[in-house]
Structures are given as structure tokens and as C-alpha cells.
Amino acid sequence: VSNYADVIVMRHYLEGAARYAAEISPVPVINAGDGANQHPTQTLLDLYSIYKTQGTLDNLHIYLVGDLKYGRTVHSLIMAMRHFNPTFHFIAPKELAMPEEYKIYCQNRNIPFVEEEEFNADIIANADILYMTRVQRERFTDLMEYERVKDVYILKASMLKDAKPTMKVLHPLPRVNEIAYDVDDDPHAYYFQQARNGLYARQAIICNTLGITV
């Protein structure tokens, strides 16, 4: 592939695949997601989106909702936000709870976090960022288990009535049914703008990788 390209953007189902490819590729490799591990380009656009909407990255209450076990976007975001004194709220069913390694990661860096299984207007009222994720069917070997948890957390516009005026709802997309369509017109919804921010962030990554400056 490197014979035809100046840079390789790689998405792979195996954790660590992009790192391995980068070790043997003569051209740069950008990780576009490796299994349930990391999604660094998503994290950069998420940081930009958070800063753009909150005016800061410091001292924010960030609520991560849904598939926290396999959700590589939330894993990457935790590691990036460690520089900015966040407080995390992990909202997930036990089957999809945040893996121990990321909780230990927070504990070792004195990052406070709270784990919740309830998802309602009262729980999310103090959020600065509400980061929704989809429950990914392809991650389940037991379809009965998937059916049991897929509809546990659905954000509806009525749940945002007590939210902070500056709070924004983010989602790495695509969504399935974890965000009701009536949220799309709510002023708290920011996920479509977040997706557009991905265009700018990834253009910057590619330019930086190729040594292009403007």
C-alpha cells in the first residue's frame, strides 16, 4: 500500500494493528480506530468541539454514556483529558461498564470519577458535556445479551429540561437509537457540528503528518 500513498489511514478490528503497521510501514500511518482500543483522531476533534462549546478544557464534568467497555472513543478521550482536571461520570450497564484498566488509569492520576447505572434528567443535570455512544451489536457474541442492553439508555429532549444552558451533547456517530430524533433540534445538541469539526481536525492531522504548513 505504501507504494501508492504518502500516508495510510488505517481502521482495523484488532487492537494494536495501527501501531504494528506503523512499525513496518515506510510512510506514516494514522490510526482511524483499532478495535476497542483507541480512536485518536476522534479524540482531537472531540477536544476541539469541547473547547469550542465550553471555552475551556479545564475543570469540566464529562458524562460518558452507553458502551464504555468497547467504546474506543471514550477510552481515548479519558487519556487526552487527563491534562485538564476533568471529573468523569461513567453511565453504563454492568455488562458494558468502563474497563478496570481505565478506572485504574484515572485513580493513578487523581482523576475523580463516579459510576452510575441510572440515566435520567436528574443524573445529567450537572453535566458540561454529555457524550453518548451506541451499543455496538458486532461486539456481542450473545445476541440475547445485546437485545437486553441495546435500549437501556436513550436520550430524549424531555431529559434536557434541567441541563446547564451551556451543556452540549456529543456523539461520535453513527447513532442507532440512543439519541431520539427530538433532540436534534434542541440547542444542547452538537453532534452534527462535532462531525463537521472532524473534517477540520483530520485535515490538520494529515497536513501535519505530511509537513504541510499554511
Q: What does the pLDDT look like over 50-105, one tens digit per residue?
A: 999 999 999 999 999 999 998 889 999 999 999 999 999 999 988 889 999 999 99
Q: How far apart are CA 79 and CA 100, in angstroms?
A: 14
In angstroms, the CA 192 to CA 209 distance is 26
Residue-level pLDDT at 28: 95
Q: Give strand ranges (E) for the chain.
A: 8-12, 29-34, 61-65, 87-91, 113-116, 129-132, 168-170
* 93 compared with 133, residue with greater pLDDT: 133
pTM as predicted = 0.89
Query: Prior bond to 174 cis, omega within 30?
Result: yes
Q: How many CA atoms lie within 13 A of 202 on its CB side?
A: 16
Residue partners of 174: CB distance under 8 A and separation at least 6: 134
Angle at 130 between CA 124 and CA 132, to 5 degrees: 115
- What pLDDT is stored for residue 24 in this prediction? 95
